[in-house]
Structure 1
Amino acid sequence: MRGLRAALLGSAILLAAGPLCAVQPDEVLDDPVLEDRARDISAGLRCPVCQNESIDESSADIARDLRLLVRERLLEGDSDNEVVAYIVARYGEYVLLSPNFDGANRVLWVLPLILLGAGIGMSVVYIRGRSNAPAPAEAGLSSDEQARLDAILNDDRTD
């Protein structure tokens, strides 16, 4: 039982520390100010391989390459915006965890609201139309149908 507890505790610690261990010691810059800037930039960039995980948290090889690229650009003297623009130019806007609200992205942000409004509007029109519709008249049997029904019922009674 003690071994199981120790294994579970060790697994929990590794899982909790996993995102913290993504940045390798050999990636860390000597200048703490530049390292903080690199961490801030990395936290806003999505790993192209991982699902909605920043390159700062990801242990994928491409995330490591991107972290090194961010640090390299900072060492060359680029501003934070220039570093992000450089990476977006190479990998597309997909690498941004928070996409910009311009161009085609506006349609992507607004379209769900438009579709929701259209769906609600169509539902209201449909429900109002049904409530205002006249009740269906009860259709009786024609004289031929009534005669056939009477004949069938009379035949069953005579048996």
Structure 2
Amino acid sequence: MMRRLIIALFVLASAMPALAVNPDEVLKDPALEQRARNLSAQLRCMVCQNQSIDDSNAELAKDLRVLVRERLTDGDTDKQVLDYVVSRYGEFVLLKPRLSAKTVLLWAAPIALLLIGVVTMILFSRRRPPLKAVAPLSEEEKARIDALSRR
């Protein structure tokens, strides 16, 4: 029974998100706090790299959460906050990068290289000279082979 309880608690604990927002960071205005949480969920922790700043306990993530909240209380829109953070840390800070020429190139390059490789292989195989049919051995060549194999 105790074992089942421990397993159930472990499953519940692993299913819950690890929100790292400290109580002193929470804004008094619930609408602004919700906007801050939504923005924090979109920003990557530069230390952890696979977590949002909302889930990370790293100092840099805390600084970014505070920065997001400061910008919101100063009256910035969500887009302005994201643009400001991207201008400071680069496009990598976004968990879902914006669609731009760079991201299209990044995603299309492997497909383009694969297509170029396939086309090259097809063209190479078509331009290769066909294999010549091997003429059957003459009687003289057969006799010579028999003589060499008897030695």
Structure-1-length-normalised TM-score: 0.75
1:15-44 Cα shifts (integer Å, max 9, x gaps): 112x24332333221111101111121121
User: In structure 2, which of residues 122, 126, 133 is the aligned counterpart of residue 137 of structure 1?
Assistant: 133
Change (3 A) 1:120 1:153: closer
TM-score normalized by the length of structure 2: 0.78
The letter for the 2-side match of 1:7 is: I
State the alpha-carbon separation in 2 of the partners of residues 24 and 139 from structure 1: 85
Secondary structure in 2 aligned to 1:57?
A: coil
Residues 5-154 of structure 1: pairs in structure 2 closer than 5 A: 5-17=4-16, 19-126=17-124, 129=126, 134-138=130-134, 147=144, 149-154=145-150
CA distance in 2, matches of 1:79, 1:145: 91
Over the aligned positions, Cα root-mean-square deviation in angstroms equals 2.9
Deviation of the 1:146 alpha carbon: 5.7
The answer on whether the counterparts of 2:19 and 2:56 sit within 8 Å (CA) in structure 1 is no
Equivalent residue pairs, number? 150
Give identity over the alignment, percent: 46
Q: Mind listing any 5+ residue stretches in structure 2 that lack a counterpart?
A: none
Distance 1:72 1:136, change over 3 A: same
Alpha carbons of 1:146 and 1:30: their partners in 2 closer, same or farther (altered >3 Å)? farther
Q: 1-side partners of 2:27 and 2:11: how far apart? A: 29
